[in-house]
Structure 1
Amino acid sequence: MILIKNGQIYTMAGKTLNNGSILVKDNKIVEIGTSINAPEAATVIDAEGKMVFPGMIDAHCHLGLWEDAIGFEGADGNEMTDPVTPHIRAIDAANPMDKTFEEAYQGGITSVATGPGSANVIGGQFAAIKTFGKRIDDMIIAEPIAMKIAFGENPKRVYNDKKQAPMTRMATAAILRETIIKAINYRNKIEEANGDKSKYPTYDFKLEAMLPVLEGKVHLKAHAHRADDIFTAIRIAKEFGLKMTLEHCTEGHLIADYLSEEGYAAIVGPSMGHRSKFELRNLTFETPAVLSKAGVKIAIMTDSPVIPLQHLPMCAALAMKSGLPEEEALKAITIYAAEILGLSDRIGSLEVGKDADIVIWDKHPLDLQASVCYTIIDGNIVYKR
């Protein structure tokens, strides 16, 4: 049991408490208020003069799939032998012993959505995990949480080098449609069998992985930077009635009015760094502000290892500098990220009944001089400065 007292508590659920307290029991928040007495044997943390926030969330990264300070041996994010790999799972590659996990929770990042990269048209299954632990199975919040798909330059470049499809944007869209239609036909044959397994179609591992997407249990995570690629992703999602989030959305600010009408959430970034390819030519930290003002729900990502995960608050701060209101910037890495991932019942805000993922800061987390004093994940103090 842990009692945090005397802190300025930003719940990210509409309340800020001065001289507030949070009581944690087991792995949950059990009480939040201004006058909570410390139970017997509770660990008491005096947060006087400090700021208390929910653990931050990166809604799109590749944590553990590209390991730190190593080359090919630790590069497990892209299976570049087949443009259609819906059956591969992030949890089978993510290495929680990698240094980047420690850097993440020491930087106040307690949860992430991590998964395959964008080499393939269908890249595989993302998982939502906590950032502290030794065994990935014990760190899972939800899995699979999304199916990665990719548009634009990356699949073209990878398979052009192999002289096979997709070498054009047309082929990328066609391969995705073809796979979805195969999955629909596969599902229909199972349903027509009416429980008689002797009439089931031959088991297809890839198509089985697509069934939760068709059922709406898993949404598409659509890598799309350029405006035309964003619209292609939307076209296909609407064609088949599939749930989807827009990942990167680099040119989203150019089409914000359209995206507001369409209603898809956007996970924006990485907005810091060199414009390393043509589809990034309109890269700007103004994108989150423009989308937010238009009414698009946004989260901000690092795309780690593109930007080291612990710099997620800095990305939010730079978006704020470019016009995103402070509260919206904070929500983009806490409660909005949780809502977009479908996990707001557990993470993203400090509320009774939610996971006890709590970070105590010595300054406001969007201040580049701020440091983490304590990180608590699932009710355990995993870092103390």
Structure 2
Amino acid sequence: MRHLSTAFALLVFAAGAGCASAGARTTNAAAPAQATATQEAGIGPQYPSTYQRHPNPPVLIRNATIMTAAGQEIQGGSILFRDGRIVAVGANVTAPTDATIVDGTGKWVTPGVIDTHSHIGVYAAPGTFGESDGNEATSPVTAEVWAEHSFWPQDPQIPLAIAGGVTTIQALPGSANLIGGRSAVLKLVPARSVQEMKFPGAHYGLKMACGENPKRVYGNRGGPSTRMGNMAGYRAAFIAAQGYRQKWDKWNKDHQGDPPERNLRNESLAEVLRGNIYVQNHCYRADEMMQMLDLAHEFGFKIRSFHHAVEAYKIADVLAREGTAVSIWSDWWGFKEEAMDGIYENAALVQQAGGRVVIHSDDASGIQRLNQEAAKAMYHGRRAGIPITRDQAVRWFTANPAWVLGLDSLVGTLEPGKMADVVLWSADPLSVYARALQVYNDGWLVYDRNDPAHQPKTDFSLGQP
């Protein structure tokens, strides 16, 4: 392997060549979604993933504390992975003769960290206008845009996220618009293009936003300027998408005449109605979340997760009943009016009600320490008398976000057969003192805290101290 700190571009070109020469295969994809209308018409799939698993020898991490995020915390345990997949997890695991042995004494292992709400790559460092590509603020509804077409794979924030143990992200458009566009689900690996990072087979998300942001952005630009205007905007967009879907469904059934004319905006929304695209909804207030659930009922789709959701605790029972997750911070609120009524126990109360909790970042700093954010939320719950378990807290940044992205059959827990997205920690990951020592993505050692050869840098960062 080439020295990663020499040049990011050299790394990714060498990795690509290595995969080809070694006959590496594309990693197994998520379960395929229903064929889209345009695919049935012979159009697409569009912009497919070109991600390839990096070939690696087997790895055995032994004598560590293994937190599987599947109900087990194994003291003095071992985990074996090869060919990008977890082979065995337990107290006694035998190493193959060709395995790399990693001594985990005094260390901890978790699944790779997954962030459901990231803007790295679309709001790339150093944060200039030239790299601010997250909001297509030209119309309140821009379902036609895709975050991947703004994503810069050499954003210097990406290696920092990897160093925090993050292996998968959902890169989202911003929240200026009622409907901001499609998300991109990405594996955090060195790459030359976003296609080389796209998680094979992952569902797209659709970013929607409630409340203050859309009416602030468009209030003096033709609207919406009120929350009732916001709701009318969502409804009008989905009514148009219903008609578009009906035309395509009819044509796909009888193939009479020419296919309907494509409309990129309605195409995305029709796939939401079909269940192929997951709604990821920025929404703070409890009353607005209830209204958005009513909207989803009206048009027959599901909201996969409310994001930020500082008032989720007020409707925790409803969220549990609806099967809608919340992607939230541990203790950040009060920075605008709709975010004023947050409490420290938000995550714990949703968990207690049987809801699905995810700790997310939203910013490029928080993504580096999502394990600590989960630990804070666990502490706040316990202080209030809510018995949050350590396994539940680890699930908040592993298994639960995997479900939000529809990837829970592939990642999020340490179980045989799943992708080897694995983090070795210096200490208990729910401790402020824990640091990610090694990060494996599909079994590939993408980061090693003690080895500069496995500390990727982007071209933008080369030459900096």
TM-score between the two structures when normalised by the length of structure 2? 0.79
Matches within 5 A, 1:9-48: 9-48=66-105
User: Match of 2:338?
Assistant: 279
Residue 164 (structure 1) aligned to one of 200, 204, 222:
222
Q: CA separation in 1, counterparts of 2:331 and 2:257? A: 52
Q: CA separation in 2, counterparts of 1:229 and 1:22? A: 44
Query: C-alpha offsets along residues 181-237 of structure 1, whole Å, 9 cap, x if unaligned?
Result: 111111111222334363433221111122221111212111110122111111101
What is the count of residue pairs matched by the alignment? 382
Does residue 222 of the first structure (1) align with residue 273 of the second (2)?
no
CA gap of 1:144–1:127, structure 2 versus 1, over 3 A, is farther
Matches within 5 A, 1:1-385: 1-134=58-191, 135-141=193-199, 142-161=201-220, 163-193=221-251, 194-196=253-255, 198-244=257-303, 245-269=305-329, 271-272=331-332, 275-305=334-364, 307-323=365-381, 325=388, 326-385=390-449
Runs of 4+ aligned residues of structure 1 deviating over 4 Å after TM superposition are: none
Query: C-alpha offsets along residues 333-372 of structure 1, whole Å, 9 cap, x if unaligned?
Result: 1111112221111111111111111101111112111111
Identity level (%): 36
Q: What is the letter of the counterpart of residue 255 of structure 1?
A: I
Query: C-alpha offsets along residues 27-73 of structure 1, whole Å, 9 cap, x if unaligned?
Result: 11122233333223322111111111111111112121111223211
Shift in Å, 1:270: 6.7
207-216 vs 249-258, which deviates more? 249-258
Q: What is the letter of the counterpart of residue 86 of structure 1?
A: A
Q: What is the letter of the counterpart of residue 323 of structure 1?
A: G
Query: C-alpha offsets along residues 132-188 of structure 1, whole Å, 9 cap, x if unaligned?
Result: 222321222245421111110000011014x21211111211111111111111111
224-233 vs 29-38, which deviates more? 29-38
CA gap of 1:195–1:323, structure 2 versus 1, over 3 A, is same
Unaligned 5+ residue runs, structure 2? 1-57, 383-387, 450-465
Contact 1:6 1:21 in 2 (8 A): yes
What secondary structure does 1:255 align onto?
helix
Shift in Å, 1:127: 1.9
Unaligned 5+ residue runs, structure 1? none
Comparing both structures, which one devotes a greater share of its residues to strand? 1
Contact 1:257 1:294 in 2 (8 A): yes
Contact 2:71 2:391 in 1 (8 A): no
Contact 1:270 1:302 in 2 (8 A): no
Q: CA separation in 1, counterparts of 2:75 and 2:316? A: 37
Shift in Å, 1:263: 3.2
Shift in Å, 1:259: 3.0
CA RMSD of aligned residues (A): 1.7
TM-score between the two structures when normalised by the length of structure 1? 0.94
